[in-house]
Chain A
């Protein structure tokens, strides 16, 4: 019984994280200015990281954890670079 609950709640969690990614994509395409798009991309990769972790629970392998770690690292660097670009007009000085 409890395993049925776990299975269905994992499916629901994947569905909700997918909806969150769709919302972030909507803001990225619609966002009136560049900073809205950068914010939406930041939110998009965080949601993708959560989806990776849920995939890891569903498939029972710790392989997805490393993918989530790489997404977190690269996403941080890219958002900082884009914020610096919006501020100064160049990413590396």
Chain B
């Protein structure tokens, strides 16, 4: 790989579902000669697009896992992460954005900026990812790149400007006019691989000149030289324009917009030019790491290949080559046979094989340097771990991981499936931090939890296909939480005399609501009324207490347990006795602390024709939803609301029938809120019945 970091681009491709980003990735691989034939996402040849390496993805025509690949365009190395579009998989998008330096935001020329584009854009802003936009599907009926560019400005508040105008639209899309070079660009040949430049068609010249003028005016804000050149009149050097656009893009104050149709092989090469021209190289971006030797002091990574190594494992995959760990190197270099340290576990890890990934195929390499994205073999680690060389101890800043909101029981059909399921779950939880699993001690069932129905559905499918684990699946359950709403005191004595040495421990103190965080233990014991060696036993006992609440059996969150008094016995007190005493104390205090049930509330956005706004609002209202706002843009409107997750099961069917299939919705987790009294009573009753029957 090139040592010149200015010739490296680490980019992601993010978009609303069905905007054609996988098709776009496929074309990029074709034009950069990484593949030699094009296969459509839902193509008749049954091969599927290259980036959709998982069988399931091929079948559904959607991208579930990021597939990393690299390619070379002209003299620049481009690492691409193809990211999923569905909101249930946003952790994938977020992880990809965390390690990337720039991104392409793909939009459909008909659908424009849709709710998922808004989510993705927000994520890009959170991780300071400079972006450019590609308006895809300009061959479709109703294509309107001008409108989409306006939406980029209005809805995403990006300073978006078209760098091209289309030559023809819909079925007549022939090529684009480049507003910087003022040339018409056509994409000839069977697969659009032959680029032909011509003079601008006469009927488009006036429009092109007008657009160019306003583009240059905008870009002059980023370059005094360009401003001077414009004031002087005469020809403007294209390099000056490129430099101004690059400066604006890197500062995230300008968003270049390109257009075309990946499916019809138009405009993709110009997009690649734009990637190399405007998106940042690793040295253009400041990435921060935390120095673990200096109380997690933040410092910028150097990008210098001669400095000690820092790299982040951002994705794990269990494929046909064994476990693959995708890493991004931030400084230093890594070679086969090197020993590195996992800063989380402190363990030494020897690097065996090192490779570049090309969707599901790989290419072995001997070394990689700063700025590279590569895959390692046989490394035991979790997603998000940082690896460094021996002389330093640091961690890349932590990633934002949302809490799971939905769970369901999975019951293996037989012993073989049981074993396979364990293997699968072990793998999935390592790969995806939003996917969690545990065994319900009361029912003995294995519970999986995640970010939405589709999220869990995909893992169940993967269990069946990749691990041959046949499982029965229970109905989806909302992941409720319990918490306390007031301070309450406890004073509990655990005393047991059953022959031999007895058990004795008394624990007193109080529970109080904790505003931020799940659980906190405070030791205010003075005078040794509880000996030091039993303080951790108390903490353990309280931790056991918060595992399961007594209202509906959900985990308890937001509790501070403070102990300030107690008693012990020289012979009968033990670790176990104080654990039991604390568990009893917690249960005693919990009931007095007015416990309540919390439910996950989802932020829901419904987009559709304005004529259906009334029924859509009604349907949200019926689901205990609170409408936060509506945005109306002529024939099209968006209703934003907060709705309890428990009410959202089956909403897609309701919405389809309400709006003749013309509206769609996305949802993401917003917060936990107390459930209304009637719902709380139902949940408590249900839990009590279950306990009686078990």
Physical interaction between A and B: no
